[in-house]
Structure 1
Amino acid sequence: MKINALAALLLAGLRGCFAQTAAPDSAAQSPRPAAASITYSGPAYRATLRRFTARRLRLAARYRQATTRAARTARLAEARQLLLTALDSTVFPAWEGTPWAFYGTTWEPRRGSIACGYFVTTSLHDAGLRLQRTVLAKQTSECIIKNLTSEAHITRYWGVDRAGFVRQVRALGPGLYVLGLDYHVAFLRVRDGGAVQMVHSSYVGPGTVVREAAESSAAIFSKYRVVGKVSDDDAFLRRWLLGEALAVHGATVKE
């Protein structure tokens, strides 16, 4: 892509998609194996994902059989944990080290390259969410978030410094968030101990998919930030659990 075209796309930032109005020190990361120490062949990765799918389907059957609100709530709590386990133990480490590229669209971890939006949509797809990977990946970061969760689970920050932003996200509690920046989209994973990890296909630093402390990420600088806490959204969890397709609303670029 020519430099001026690339700049125009990047400067699009969070504009478009939905009508918008002007928006207004962490603990150490949890120990984990280095990406280079984990071997993920394509067949092994897909086999592990199939095992998670089987667990999700069994849990979905139990959810459908639940006859009380308390039982359904309990099943959704199990679904939340299963989704986080799939991402933390398999999807994220498998994709670590995959090269970033503006036009990267690979389906296979560590083969080819992947752009930041495609990393988010592909990770959720691999974890079992039925979505239009390409259409959603091409949207602005705020549009991606609005398609994944509702306004009740979205928080916006304007003009907050990086340390203050990380503190405020930590205060929202443990879970999985999708983070929208001026020119970037990523996951934030807030741990029970308070560590805030940024998991993303980074266009700076190593230029690969990385899991890193959010407070030290070179990619987190942004005038405007929006986060959607998808792991707290029962509608999102239900859709994932039951295999319901995610429709894309407000798309500005079609597949």
Structure 2
Amino acid sequence: MAKPYAEVIGDPIGHSKSPLIHGFWLKALGIDADYRATHVTPDALPDYFAERTRDPDWRGCNVTVPHKVAALAHVEDRGDVRSTIGAINTVIRAGDGALIGSNTDAPGFAAPLGTLDLAGKPVTVIGAGGAARAILYALARRGVGAVTLLNRNVEKGAALLSGFGLDGQALPLDGAVPASALVVNATSLGMTGQPPLALDLSALPDDALVYDIVYAPLETGLLAAARARGLKTIDGLEMLIGQAAVAFELFFGAAPPRERDAELRGMLLG
């Protein structure tokens, strides 16, 4: 008998640690279900969702690069994600059979920040893709000050800042990082197989926090540079596990055992 399952889709997808995370939780909770990684190219995205709509065992999927914006066209937007974040990273099957888009990146990003006070403080974000949208949304809700957004397409970066009602400036990727309370890499730069992300962090104050959402490798060049300066850092596994926890409950109807996060991290790093 076929098992219920969820999956993560992207292009590429071989680097994804999501199957390990969800598999760990499924085993820990004794849930008889699967979670897998599926390579889906941009051209194949419409057929993918059409096929999954007809699969009674499919519970949903996580969506990663480069599909976070494009996937919105193939699902229902009952939570008004389109006009708030503008990207999705999770799709679930509703009780009526409809495919519903959601975004767990925003809470997943925010959770490791805890009670960090960013109200009115300057921040720098690198990137303007789907992950950056969720991060800017979360930062706007925290009332941050001026945002410097570094991106290849400066006009796209400026439009994003305006869309989220954030003050600040958009600069090219090689623009200088100004004094900021928080720096976030929201791109795939620095990931295994991708170009490095070389930033000059010399303008950051000693109490700045550097957050890189890349998790393969876990010790990115950006985090290594930040630690060499003695700055506080947050690695990509923190956001990955945080967003996965929200999605897991949507897929399988049970909260994951977060008290075992240290064990999970050890497995992912092993």
> Is the TM-score greater than 0.5?
no
**Larger of the two Rg values belongs to structure:** 2
What TM-score comes out, normalization by structure 1 length? Answer: 0.29
Higher relative contact order, chain-length normalized (CA < 8 Å, sep 6+): 1
- Select the structure that is richer in helix: 1
TM-score under structure 2 length normalisation: 0.28
Structure that is richer in strand per residue: 2
